[in-house]
Structure 1
Amino acid sequence: MLVGYARVSTTEQSLEVQLDQLAQAGVEKVFSEQRSGKRAANRPELQRARDFCREGDTFVVTRLDRFARSAADLHRTVEQLTAKGVGFRCLQQGGIDTTTTHGKLMLGILAAVAEFELDIRQERQREGIENAKAKGVYRGRKASIDRNAVKRMSLDGMSARSIAERLGCSPASIYRLAGKPAVDVLSL
């Protein structure tokens, strides 16, 4: 059986192109998700897809960067599939098919290239943020917790846990906002 996996990083992105490619490749069962792929642990559908695979199946993705974010992550996941007797195929990097010797070689080479590209992209992003900060343009993301509301609730005698529950955040966020370690009593 061909088992597919599709992923986009945000809810604003569409899975449609990947799903169409998987369908054209004859994939019978598809698992998909819209979430960041920085860590495999944060991708529950990937885990479900791997668990679903049985000996003799082939796990299919459209591109390596939709499946793994580092060479180590890629090799670890492919090794887990291989241990179950499951092959791995990547549609857009056509030489990758772990059911063949050449496919295994291509997997290693392209994984290293994909990791290199990710590192370069992250480096450029850091440089851009540093340049924006130097120009006074970068402000970071907007605060999600109203500091004045925290202060008012604290002055009313509410605990950090109660404030966090009311504002829909963690107590650690309240302590961080107050600039105090979690073991201290909240006082602003």
Structure 2
Amino acid sequence: MALYGYARVSTNDQDFTLQEQALRAAGCEVIRAEKASGTSRTDRTELQVLLDFLRRGDTLVVTRIDRLARSIKDLQDIVYTLKKQGVTLKATEQPIDTRSAAGKAFLDMLGVFAEFETNLRRERQLEGIAAAKARGVYRGRKPSIDPAEVQRLRSEERLGATEIARRLGIGRASVYRALANDGRSA
């Protein structure tokens, strides 16, 4: 019956030191931490390592439920997996303990609010982008591919799509798009 901690932040400029300190104070000796979005379980290798490692009677500890998942579906999937393994879920800053009915109910409510917050943030972002476009100040992200360079490598150096992609550090599909946009086929 060991306590295992999981800490997560969304971006590289964020720090999970406070989460790690809270998890150690809660009794976790092993803590897995990662910098990844909580909106999906994709690319969250540290979480997957924990889920694969936990055994019956263990407890997974997080500081807040939104550190574990920002989607109610992902949260429910994780909780289902933990329950199937006989693992308890606890949060240090919220009254969540999946061993009690009240803890489970509160967990579901917090999951709904975490997803709601994510959706609100996405809506505000889209509204801001639309307003900026209306003012003519939003141009989108700067292109990461130079179509002229793709064309030059194709026509002057007679390189194939794979070699162009390797040299420019882009995907082959991007090479094909750049070539197609110029009216040429690869």
Report the TM-score when normalising by structure 1: 0.91
Correspondence for 1:74: 75
Deviation at 1:153, TM superposition (A): 0.5
* CA offset digits 1:30-59 (Å, max 9, x no partner): 011112233202101110011111100011
Correspondence for 2:59: 58
Take 2:93 and 2:179, find their aligned partners in 1: how far apart are those partners?
A: 49
Take 1:108 and 1:35, find their aligned partners in 2: how far apart are those partners?
A: 22
Correspondence for 1:34: 35
Report the TM-score when normalising by structure 2: 0.92
Q: Aligned letter for 1:99?
A: R
Count matched residues.
182
Is the contact made by 2:64 and 2:91 (CA closer than 8 Å) also made in structure 1?
yes
Structure 1 gaps of 5+ residues are none
Take 1:55 and 1:71, find their aligned partners in 2: how far apart are those partners?
A: 24
What root-mean-square deviation, in Å, do the aligned CA atoms of Structure 1 and Structure 2 show?
1.4
Correspondence for 2:105: 105
Deviation at 1:179, TM superposition (A): 4.0
Indicate the SS of the match to 2:13: coil
Deviation at 1:162, TM superposition (A): 1.1
Correspondence for 1:132: 132
Indicate the SS of the match to 1:161: helix
| Closer, same or farther: CA 168–47 of 1 in aligned 2, 3 Å | same
Take 2:147 and 2:173, find their aligned partners in 1: how far apart are those partners?
A: 14
Correspondence for 2:163: 162
- In the TM superposition, structure 1's runs of 4+ consecutive aligned residues that sit over 3 Å from their partners are none
Q: Aligned letter for 1:165?
A: R
Q: Aligned letter for 1:123?
A: E
Indicate the SS of the match to 2:12: coil
Correspondence for 1:85: 86
The percent identity for this pair of structures is 47
* CA offset digits 1:133-169 (Å, max 9, x no partner): 1111112222222222111101122111110011111
* CA offset digits 1:39-80 (Å, max 9, x no partner): 202101110011111100011111222111211110111100
Take 2:39 and 2:72, find their aligned partners in 1: how far apart are those partners?
A: 12
